[in-house]
Amino acid sequence: MSHSAPGLHYLNHDKGFKSWALSLDHKRIGVMYMVAVSLAFLAGGILAILVRLELLGPGETIMGPDAYNQSFTLHAVLMIFAFIIPAIPAVMGNFVLPIQLGAKDVAFPRLNLASFYIYLIGAAIAMTALVNGRIDGGWTFYAPYSTSIGNGILFVTAGVFVMGFSSILTGLNFIVTVHKMRAPGLTWNRLPLFIWSIYATSIVQVLATPVIGITVLLLFLEKALSIGIFDPALGGDPVLFQHFFWFYSHPAVYIMILPAFGVISDLMGTFSRHQVSGYKFVALSSVAIAFLGFLVWGHHMFVSGQSAVSSIVFSLITYLIGIPTGVKVINWVQTMYKGSVQLKSPMLYAIMFLFTFSIGGFTGIMLGVLAIDVHLHDTYFVVAHFHYVMMGGNVIAALGGLHYWWPKIFGKMYNEFLAKIAAALVFIGFNVTFFPQFILGAQGMPRRYYDYLPQYESLHALSTYGSWILAAGLFLIAGYLIASLISGKKAGLNPWGALTLEWTHTTTPPDHHNFHDTPVVTRGAYDFHLAGHLFQNGGEVSELDLGGDGAANTPDEAPVPHEPAH
Amino acid sequence: MANPHTNQPAHVKHYFVSSEQQFDAAKMGMWLFLVTEILLFSGMFVAYTIYRSWHPETWTALSTALDWKLGGLNTIVLLASSFTVAMGINQIQRGNQKGLLINLVLTFVFAGMFLVVKYFEYSAKFEHGLFPGAAFDPHGVSHGFDYATYNVPYGPQFFSIYFVMTGIHGFHVLVGMGLFAWITVKALKGRFSAEYYTPVENCGLYWHLVDIIWIFLFPLLYLI
């Protein structure tokens, strides 16, 4: 067996700016994405705080109506395209997926690096819309309004087109990696559920994103050349734009939530120290959701004038999607019930997810009911619904995954006590911000409105106070995570006692090449019933042979220096 | 020229265990990319279908503005280019470098011919004011035919769809020419062999897709 020199891993084996900027290592690319999407989240989050600050009272609070419209539009464009869609796949998928598969990298590392730069360029182009004309009216940029207010739309559409390429190429990379580069013995039924969900996400990315590509391209041409495909004044059809737009944007929300489901599955398995209940159902439900997600776009268009028959069909299929989703939630609860739950900070986020995502999901089904949607469409009820699924779903799961994999990625432990405080702040802040918005919407408060009637003031104020608590929690997280890099305790090989390959077969942080010898897999990803048999010494759970004696690692064995093989 | 650490041929990257695995992965990746291209064009095909179903007479009338002979010539040119790229792959599978080079150059030339014909088609349209959307202004008489008869409601939409579809397709032909230029240079340097010709295979796949899309565009726009 060969090893690198001790203490050498992917973070320090090569130094210098170019070794990062031109790195083909999926782990380094994942870390670079982490920095980039965190900046996008910060920018989008600051805009959110400003929007909520403006809504603290009726009339003008800190900005005029024009600035307000542009703020909420840019908030959404950044959060959706520059943060949520790339985040879990490009950060955690990139870092963890090849290792969980027993591979040394993704199938196309150069394409992976290209995806990262394409993302940066696309985000930069979209941001120039701030200074080149204006974008307002929401991230859905419905034609003909969006093409009639100046040149900002040209930059936003170009930016979204370019970012879409990054999404497609990442998805393509992951699909090929999962199909072609699994370690010997790693059958589909032994895959971690995180992989299943990234796989399903990647399928949606590859199939759906080209449609937003052609949509924004047509919108670009509509503005630049007045081709008259969406603008009724020129003979075009504005509802056609809505169909085109939502045909991607509905599957896009499954791109957002499926990776989150995958993170939760891995967290539930590890922190319940139990096989994830209903593994096959949970795995296949990801694929079912991915498929059904293409059939429901019309539920965003119930009041657009489309036929009653198509509305009924879209409504029915929307109900159907609730079934595989509910199957997952029930299985996660069952996993905890049968298991031995450890309430570490990643698990706190997973449990939080069950609550907040379920509320988001239920309210989504509610909005799928035609008679209800007619009243709630374009109200704050919708705003609350999608924040509960996107933030209460994706962001909460992403935070859980971040806390879970942080020791593996950086080799440092963060302050667990502060982590628990921050989790509480995030949970309380999130619910205080968004739950009142359900009530506001049911009472008739329209969305995307700069001003409102005095009767809505108290709930709006409550929501704004909640946003401050939420922001405090998020800044606290950033604080102790960054502090851990500087002065955190060194992490052990497998602090959570997980059984997936990234924990049992790599060092912490992982070696540059992940593995020296390809692992041979003989068990499932959550076979905790085998743990006693596999790891007879208790304590640190690792199958690495750091002692060089041909047997799996024991906690007492310090790494013994070896001569580097090459 | 094997890699001493992995005992694999030099062209096999360190994260693959064999040449076959690498080739299979590359082809699968290319097929997935082609699926995304089909979906990109499908948006336009949907727009075509919808507008045609709403204004069938306009569509039929305005498609006479497109010269089916030139379109037919382009169809034959593209089919020929697909044949030559397939022949090129066949040649390199047998290790025949010269055969590969000749066919790559032929493919490149056919692609260029396609774009030249398109140039003539487009300039003929522009001469008579057949622009997309708001710029639509048919005028002028040519061969006894008065272009002003094309000035009907929803006429501009036909030309918007025509120019966007053939424009995006033409862009893909141009990209294809760039790709063939690149692999021709590599072929001249002797980079390909019977053991390794993956880029040629993948460019061939891309080119066949560009060809197939035209096979659909031609009858839909020119013939009906």
Instruction: Give the 3-state DSSP-derived string for B188-211, with helices as H, strands as E and coil as C.
Output: HCCCCCCCCCHHHHHHHHHHHHHH
Mean pLDDT of chain A: 92
Counted across chains A and B, CB pairs separated by less than 8 A come out at: 111
The ipTM, to two decimals, is 0.93
3-state SS, residue A446: strand
Q: Mean pLDDT lowest for which of A192-206, B107-121, B148-162? A: B148-162
Q: What is the mean pLDDT of residues B6-10?
A: 80
d(CA B123, CA A141): 34
Q: What is the mean pLDDT of residues A390-416?
A: 97
Q: Nearest 5°: CA angle at A171, between B43 and B38?
A: 25
> Are B32 and A176 an interchain contact pair (Cβ–Cβ within 8 Å)?
yes
Q: What is the mean pLDDT of residues A149-161?
A: 92
| CB A139, CB A73: distance < 8 Å | yes
pLDDT number for residue A535: 64
Q: Is the pTM of this model over 0.90?
A: yes
Residue whose token pair is 């990442």:
A170
3-state SS, residue B145: strand
Q: Which chain A residues are closer than 8 Å to B202 by Cβ?
A: none
Helices in A55-108 by DSSP H: which ranges?
Answer: 65-77, 85-86, 94-101
Q: Which chain A residues are closer than 8 Å to B14 by Cβ?
A: 104, 513
* A179 in contact with B, Cβ within 8 Å: yes
A17-490 has which fold? Cytochrome C Oxidase; Chain A (1.20.210)
* A206 in contact with B, Cβ within 8 Å: yes
3-state SS, residue A365: helix
pLDDT number for residue A562: 42
What residue in A sits closest to B153 (Cα-Cα)? Answer: A235
3-state SS, residue B8: strand
pLDDT tens profile A209-264: 999 999 999 999 999 999 999 999 999 999 999 999 999 999 999 999 999 999 99
pLDDT number for residue B188: 96
* A513 in contact with B, Cβ within 8 Å: yes
pLDDT number for residue A555: 46
For the record, the structure tokens of B72 come out as 């037919």
Q: What is the mean pLDDT of residues A499-522?
A: 90
pLDDT-based confidence at B176, cuts 50/70/90? very high
What residue in A sits closest to B42 (Cα-Cα)? Answer: A211
> Are A179 and B35 an interchain contact pair (Cβ–Cβ within 8 Å)?
no
Task: Give me the DSSP letters along A392-443.
Answer: IIIIHHHHHHHHHHHHHHHSEE--HHHHHHHHHHHHHHHHHHHHHHHHHHHT
Which domains, from first to last, does chain B contain? 21-135+142-223 (1.20.120.80)
pLDDT-based confidence at A130, cuts 50/70/90? confident
* A240 in contact with B, Cβ within 8 Å: yes
What is the percent of chain A with per-residue pLDDT over 90, rounded to a whole number?
84
pLDDT tens profile B12-70: 998 998 999 999 999 999 999 999 999 999 999 999 999 999 999 999 999 999 999 99
Give B199 or A538, the one with higher predicted confidence.
B199
> Are B33 and A172 an interchain contact pair (Cβ–Cβ within 8 Å)?
yes
Task: For chain A, give every domain's residue range.
Answer: 17-490
H or E element at residue B146: strand B145-146
pLDDT of residue A554 exceeding 90, the answer is: no
What residue in B sits closest to A161 (Cα-Cα)? Answer: B40
**Torsion sign over Cα A132, A213, A78, A219:** positive
* A127 in contact with B, Cβ within 8 Å: no
C-beta atoms surrounding B53 within 10 Å: 9
pLDDT of residue A3 exceeding 50, the answer is: no
pLDDT number for residue A565: 43
A59 burial level (CB within 10 Å; 0-12, 13-18, 19+):
exposed
Chain B: residues touching A (Cβ < 8 Å)? 5, 13-17, 21, 24-25, 28-29, 32-33, 35-37, 39-44, 46-47, 50, 132-135, 153-154, 156-157, 160-161, 163-164, 168
d(CA A12, CA A7): 9
Of the candidates A103, A175, A226, the beta carbon closest to that of B15 is on: A103
pLDDT number for residue A557: 47
